[in-house]
């Protein structure tokens, strides 16, 4: 397993769909995963530091884990099957190891809320990971991007998206 961190949440310019970029902590490879607008918003809210008045779904999952004396130990993106990424949440439930299958986007949203490490299977990252090439000017722009700016990009996307875009 390779430990990764969320390096960005963006809207793909070609497809106009949200994508998360998971970059290995000790390397240059990145795994892009397309996700839904609702999950993108849930992830963006964490990046923004927004605390909702009432718990949203991923906040509820975090709260349930705590109430049941369970702890999310790690999220693992395990494989790509039929163009769909699969993931597992590895939990410690009162000393017992429990693995729960999940969508990567939901797992990421919960992992960010619980400050849990995220991993990608070695073979998967080797097969599907990319090294993002940017020139120095693009790197300066990426470093200057604040979480609030990322959230604003998502708000613009969500306001502009139409149901027929997903047909």
* Tokens standing for residue 15: 């497809």
Instruction: Give the whole-angstrom CA distance, residue 119 versus residue 37.
Output: 23
Among candidate residues 50, 34, 31, the one with its CA nearest the CA of residue 42? 50
Above pLDDT 70, what percent of the chain? Answer: 79
Q: How confident is the model at residue 137 (pLDDT cuts 50, 70, 90)?
A: very low
* Partners of 91 in beta bridges: 72, 98
CB 77 within 8 A of CB 22: yes
**Phi, then psi, of 2 in degrees rounded to 5:** -115, 125
Please tell me the pTM assigned to this model. 0.79
Which residues are within 8 A (CB) of 154 and not within 5 positions of it... i.e. 6 or more apart? 9, 11, 18, 37, 40, 41, 44
Q: Which domains are present in the chain?
A: 2-166 (3.10.690.10)
| Tens digits of residue pLDDT in 14-55 | 888 999 999 999 999 999 999 999 999 999 999 888 888 898
CA–CA distance, 124 with 140 (Å, rounded to integer):
30
Which residues share a beta bridge with 97? 92
Tell me the C-alpha distance between 17 and 86, whole Å. Answer: 19
pLDDT in tens, 102-124: 999 999 999 999 999 999 999 99
Average pLDDT over the chain, rounded to an integer: 87
CB 22 within 8 A of CB 33: yes
């Amino acid at each position: 397993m390779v430990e990764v961190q969320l390096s960005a949440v963006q809207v793909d310019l070609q497809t106009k769909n949200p994508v998360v970029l998971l970059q290995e902590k000790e390397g240059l490879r990145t795994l892009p995963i397309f996700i839904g607008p609702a999950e993108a918003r849930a992830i963006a809210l964490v990046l923004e530091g927004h605390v909702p008045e009432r718990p949203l779904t991923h906040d509820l999952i975090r709260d349930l884990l705590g109430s049941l004396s369970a702890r999310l130990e790690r999220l693992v993106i395990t494989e790509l099957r039929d163009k769909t990424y699969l993931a597992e949440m590895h939990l410690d439930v009162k000393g017992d190891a429990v693995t729960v299958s999940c969508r990567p986007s939901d797992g990421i949203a919960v992992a960010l809320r619980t400050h849990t490490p995220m991993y990608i299977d070695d073979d998967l990252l080797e097969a599907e990971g990319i090294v993002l090439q940017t020139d120095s000017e693009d790197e300066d722009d990426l470093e200057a991007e604040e979480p609030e700016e990322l959230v604003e990009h998502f708000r613009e996307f969500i306001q502009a998206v139409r149901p027929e875009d997903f047909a």
